[in-house]
Structures are given as structure tokens and as C-alpha cells.
Structure 1
Amino acid sequence: MIETSTIWIVIILLGLGTFLIRFSFLGLIGDRKLPRWITLHLNYVAVAVMPALVAPLVVWPEATGGALDAPRLLAALAALAAGLALRSALWSVSIGFGVLYFMLFVVS
């Protein structure tokens, strides 16, 4: 078991680290206009992060012991198709959730 003082030191250091990361953007350059090339690259951050978060949950889901299964694969494909067709992240996620829960209901 880890000592209580060690846990608090880690929590405080992580909090300080995340504060400094946020402050570097908001506090130091928050009132300045960013160059055009940076804003163009920042537009793609969400597009890159979302698949990186979702792909491991589809390909190696904890619920199935890491085995690929049809409900999650179909939900991911439905979310991808909805995103391409509707150009809306909210609808894409909603349709993906709907297909996932429907398929889990049908399979079980």
C-alpha cells in the first residue's frame, strides 16, 4: 500500500503540472492573436483525438476481454457513416451510442 503522504505529493505535483500547462496557453498567450498556421492546425486536434480515444475501445474492448465483437464494430461504422453524411459530431456520437445499445440488447 502506498503511504498517504506519497499520494498527496503526487496529487499536488500533478495538479501543479496541469495548471502550468493550461497557464502556458491561457495566461501567457491568451490575450494575443495566434498566427494563422497555428489556428489551422488547432482545427484538427478534435478530429485527431476522438478516433484515438474510440479506436482502442472498439478494437480491444474490456467488456469482451479484448476480442473484437460485432456490436461495437457496427456502432463504430454507424457513427463514422453518420459523421460523414451529417457532418455533426453530436449526431455521430448519438447514432453510435444508439446502435451500440441496440446491438447489445439484440445480442444478449
Structure 2
Amino acid sequence: MISDAAFWTLTALLGIGTFLIRFSFLGFLGRRQLPDWVLLHLRYVGVGVLPAMVTPLVLWPAATGGETDPARLVAALATFVAALRVSVTMALVAGMGTLYLMQFLLS
């Protein structure tokens, strides 16, 4: 374990670093019009980042010791289909409902 002083120093430095990273975009570019090509690329950030965060949780979940789980695969498929057909809210409901149902049926 680290000392209390080291912990709070590290916490403060990380907070300052996070602020500066965000300020670099919001403070310097907040009042300027970005070029169209930048705005076009920024539209795809969420589409690129979200699957990268979710895929390991579906294919190698910690809850199963890193083993692929059929319940999570079916829930991910139901979430994807609901997101394409209906809305993000319904995708969340469909994914959670399918996961709980599949875990109940498979256990």
C-alpha cells in the first residue's frame, strides 16, 4: 500500500491531468467552428469505441472466469438487433432481459 500523502498527491495530479486534457479541447476549440472533415470523423468515435469496450465483456467475461458464455452471446445479439430495429433504450432493455432470461434457463 502507498502512504496517504502519496495517494492524495497522485489523485490531485491525475485530476489536474484530466482537467488539462479536457480543457485542451473545450477551452481552446470551444468557440471555434471545426472543419467539416473533423466533424465527420468525430461522428464515428462512439461507433468505434463502444464495440471495443463491450466485446471483451461479451467474449471473455470475468464473471465466467474468461470463458465464453452462450447467455452473453445471445444477449449481445438481441441487443444488436433491438438497436438496429427500435432504439437505444429498447436495446438496453432487450439485452438485459435476454441475459437474465438466458442465465435463468441455462442454470
- The TM-score with structure 2 as length reference comes to 0.92
Partner of 1:98: 97
- Give distance in 1, aligned partners of 2:57 and 2:8: 31
**1:66-89 Cα deviation digits (max 9, x unpaired):** 000111010011111222223x32
How many Å apart are 1:90 and its aligned residue? Answer: 2.4
**1:11-49 Cα deviation digits (max 9, x unpaired):** 011100110011111111101111111111111111111
Structure 2 counterpart SS, 1:2? coil
- Give distance in 1, aligned partners of 2:47 and 2:90: 15
- The TM-score with structure 1 as length reference comes to 0.91
Instruction: Show the 5 A alignment for 1:40-79.
Output: 40-79=40-79
Aligned residues: 107
Moved segments of 4+, more than 3 Å: none
Structure 1 counterpart SS, 2:33? coil
- Give distance in 2, aligned partners of 1:90 and 1:47: 16
- Give distance in 1, aligned partners of 2:93 and 2:51: 15
Structure 2 counterpart SS, 1:32? coil
For structure 1, the 5+ residue unaligned runs are none
How many Å apart are 1:91 and its aligned residue? Answer: 2.1
